[in-house]
Structure 1
């Protein structure tokens, strides 16, 4: 029976590097009895397979079908133990947990002073590295040991530990509330999307303020500030307040600048902060600052001192390349950015298991938009079809919506009108199913519905009319984001003026920001 790589054990084996596999074999071979063990044989078989094949495992190994589940479970556990011992997976957090385990063992053996010595050092390291949950665990174990009245510790020790526990507990409570708020706001975004009107905005405002804990910024450490800025970022993002998104993403990034040791301890949040900063700058159309922070981000993550594992590697690849593409959208220099597409596609192959399909579809939409701007309509349609025909996941409706609209526009521009009526009909049917549409989307539906009845000589008049209706939404607080997916205003102007859309976008950019 052949399965895909979603088999957990198979995926884990395939994720291992050569050095990790070598260490695993050394680890399980430390006792001679393991050399021919069933789980090691299973590991060797899985390592050689390109896809998970249960029949091949049963045929090539000495494992019976009824034994397979237990052997797989044991192998999975042994691999994780081996990986935990690998130096590449060791960090302050794992070292502190190890010290806690050591102290607990010493305590249960009655070696109280030795346990307290380890705990005192561990607590200091935990606080220095903003690991306040672990620091709290350390203090709680210290209290347990001191409560034995065996160590006869210095007077005032009880008060000292009580004060430490209270401070750490308060910090952990604030962190928990802020992290909950950040996650809840992100959940709202996934469920409902952005605020579409004043009513939505007021509900988000009330929701945020009801859950924001009281705090004094001066009392907050790195960890609490990180979650505070994340919460404010998502609050601003939901409101489509991209200037405040930039403000809090910049605070987030500067927090790491002020605490460089935290970059390698929390590399995922570091990368996400950089991504949100660049995304905010893209939305507020600040190319100069965007380029500065993109170059800075790239220099940091390619530096040898930057800790990178498979997860962080995938994230940095995703963020860097999305924004490398975005750079060419500021001033409409789409043709200059086309060279990125084959490079990114070639590298995407090795991230198949680590970048989800939704983000791959975002790449496809970006590639399609770039080809559209470069007037390569056939290539644009090819990438859009990858989105439109995707059925395996619940694709975000806004991405599907604008992919279909752009598909119609690309067919029109490319002169592929041999089945344009069927395309218009299918697009219209899809769009009317969408709930809570933006006004821009509604106007596009009306236009698409009527497009098939317009005579060729009247098409420019229709473009002028649609441009007039959409122009009022260009700077609307709840509608303007639609134009970030598809700059329909510039496209309409290009048709009205008979000029390339890239030229229109470039002219607008330099008119607003001046020449380079």
Structure 2
């Protein structure tokens, strides 16, 4: 087994719970003595060490010869998957449907066509009821295959009935795929550039979205069609910074699960993502009380028994930390928030849920902002450097760019003037290359370039000028984008009022609470 496949095996073993490991041993030893099973001994060694070291394995298990290792690892991997599939079938409708389809194939191969068709009929009904239309079409294709070869029923219009069912399922699958493909393409575009940067981006996004959006009648759509449609519209409005409509479609997404509560169990990942996006929309729309209500709903998810797999547990943990951080950003409680960041940072290092690089980079940016808000400039720089020095910065050019800007400000706070002069030029070139150099960034650069030459008395006047300039820019639709990543204005106000950023944000929050609104330092 090649190194990559070996890594997969170790990752799979490390992901197993104690109950799953116990079940695997019982599964393997049901017909054999454990001491005689070499791949089980290999499993025990990898489970204990949590890593693969060929020399150690050969030393600890004398019965294994080096030439056997590749086949043993491949066999162990396969047996683990077989065991996990058996464990999951009672809790996973999709696996149960596939297993029923396998039973029908076995009966067909035995020549028991009537029994095979009976199982297929029941399986198709389950698949349609649970909205697994691709699986239902697979079942239907098998039904047609049997009916076309053998006289099995006396129903006169059986062929016409199968044809109608097939056409109906095909149309439904095409519509669902069109919506889900559009949502996925928008997400891919967001990973590349983030929010729209200018009129050209906005026009491109508009044309792309509506040229790929199929015609539909919302009332006639089923659960999954409505869900993916809401997801696609949500991404479209989110990238356009239209947070009112983003809230509208994320609320619709979440509402689908309230209307179909049984879908929470069968599509838990989509339910969690819907709740996450609704919380994000409330955060972006400055709705603190509603945000806290839905954050409570997120925290109640484990009590509902929905976290049945490592995947759903990982998603829940991911979204919990995202919105825990957002809550601190809303209220300006950065110093308090840094206590949770230590736990989160340790979890990222271990990465037990295999979070992807994008999620980790977003977390690094949020953690850096938390430390920045608390006035810990050095810790902020530590996490910003993790983004800047990332080996594969081929996505989220927006975060890559604003991480560099925040890094400049943190170095300014530390008084690293010599380093600042060098980095300003480097960052300026980077932003120009990434097409992220908008008027807001240019204005900040001009200010930072002049600071070394300013006297202490002149500095406050320049802070005021920069503050006033940015206030005007914030009213412009595409320049407003910059303030979604960093509330530079609150930082400037902290300088003008000689207060901490944390104090300024807390004052904003209290003032906005009195008016029924609130403001925030970091949005995404």
Q: TM-score, normalised by structure 2?
A: 0.90
Q: Match of 2:213?
A: 212
Q: 1:5 to 1:315 in 2, by over 3 A?
A: farther
Q: Match of 1:9?
A: 9
Shift of 1:88: 7.3
Distance in 2 (alpha carbons) for counterparts of 1:348 and 1:160: 54
Shift of 1:107: 1.9
Q: Match of 2:521?
A: none
Shift of 1:399: 2.6
Q: Match of 1:452?
A: 452
CA contact (8 A) 1:471 1:489 kept: yes
Shift of 1:248: 1.1
Q: Match of 1:143?
A: 144
CA contact (8 A) 2:364 2:386 kept: yes
> Which shifted more, 442-451 or 389-398?
389-398
Q: Deviations over 1:78-101 (max 9, x none)?
A: 111111111477411111111111
CA contact (8 A) 2:364 2:387 kept: yes
Q: 1:412 to 1:423 in 2, by over 3 A?
A: closer
> Which shifted more, 464-473 or 395-404?
395-404
Distance in 2 (alpha carbons) for counterparts of 1:397 and 1:152: 61
CA contact (8 A) 1:256 1:262 kept: yes
Shift of 1:58: 2.5
Q: Match of 1:374?
A: 374
Distance in 2 (alpha carbons) for counterparts of 1:411 and 1:33: 64
Q: Match of 1:440?
A: 440
Shift of 1:200: 1.4
CA contact (8 A) 2:194 2:396 kept: no
Shift of 1:283: 1.4
Alignment of 1:49-128 (within 5 A): 49-61=49-61, 62-87=63-88, 90-128=91-129
Q: TM-score, normalised by structure 1?
A: 0.91
Distance in 2 (alpha carbons) for counterparts of 1:268 and 1:400: 28
Shift of 1:348: 4.7
Query: Gaps (5+ residues) in structure 2?
Result: 517-524
Q: Match of 1:481?
A: 481
Q: Deviations over 1:187-242 (max 9, x none)?
A: 22223332211121111111111111111212211111111111111211222222
Q: 1:187 to 1:357 in 2, by over 3 A?
A: closer
Q: Deviations over 1:122-171 (max 9, x none)?
A: 12211111111111122222222222342133222222222211111100
Distance in 1 (alpha carbons) for counterparts of 2:36 and 2:397: 53
Residue 40 in structure 1 maps to residue 37 in structure 2: no
Q: 1:244 to 1:304 in 2, by over 3 A?
A: closer
Q: Match of 2:494?
A: 494
Residue 430 in structure 1 maps to residue 431 in structure 2: no
Alignment of 1:67-466 (within 5 A): 67-87=68-88, 90-299=91-300, 301-345=301-345, 347-348=347-348, 351-352=351-352, 354-391=354-391, 396-413=396-413, 416-417=414-415, 419-434=416-431, 435-437=434-436, 438-466=438-466
Distance in 2 (alpha carbons) for counterparts of 1:208 and 1:393: 26
Q: 1:481 to 1:197 in 2, by over 3 A?
A: closer
| Root-mean-square deviation (Å) | 2.5
Q: Look up the SS of the partner of 2:499 in the other structure.
A: coil
Query: Gaps (5+ residues) in structure 1?
Result: none
**Number of residue-to-residue matches in the alignment:** 510
Shift of 1:345: 4.0
